[in-house]
Amino acid sequence: EPEVTQTPSHQVTQMGQEVILRCVPISNHLYFYWYRQILGQKVEFLVSFYNNEISEKSEIFDDQFSVERPDGSNFTLKIRSTKLEDSAMYFCASSPGTSGRPSTDTQYFGPGTRLTVL
């Protein structure tokens, strides 16, 4: 069964450094997402991406964040200058987008990348 994959599984970085989290969505899916979960808190929406542009983003997704689909398979999340409070589990997801109603589509999640900012 096709699945979403994410690399690395764990990333440790120094405060102020740039990090890029990588995801390979399911190949025929059209919508892509990033979520994060700070330890002990809710899974929070960051951004959705469709047709090579951001379709929705949350208040969390400020100028320090960017997303890119550099080729036909990868979907990346870049944090330009990491802060301590960016430490979290980051989940990538994708959905088919074929129903015409994105809100009814199942989102398929990857296993997550645990980001630790020191």
Interacting residues with another protein (CB under 8 A): 4, 6, 31, 33, 35, 41-45, 48, 50, 55-56, 58, 91, 93, 95, 102-112
Beta carbon of residue 107, minimum distance to another protein (angstroms, whole number): 6
Beta carbon of residue 43, minimum distance to another protein (angstroms, whole number): 4
The residues, any chain, with a CB within 8 Å of residue 47's CB and separated by 6 or more, are 33, 34, 54, 56, 57, 58, 61, 65, 67, 77
The residues, any chain, with a CB within 8 Å of residue 31's CB and separated by 6 or more, are 48, 49, 50, 55, 94, 95, 96, 97, 102, 105, 107
Nearer to another protein, 4 or 19 (CB): 4
Nearer to another protein, 14 or 104 (CB): 104
Nearer to another protein, 17 or 74 (CB): 74
Q: Please tell me whether residue 85 adopts helix, strand or coil conformation.
A: helix
Beta carbon of residue 48, minimum distance to another protein (angstroms, whole number): 5
Alpha carbon distance 3, 109 (integer Å) = 8
Beta carbon of residue 50, minimum distance to another protein (angstroms, whole number): 7
Q: Which tokens belong to 46?
A: 């960051």
Nearer to another protein, 15 or 34 (CB): 34
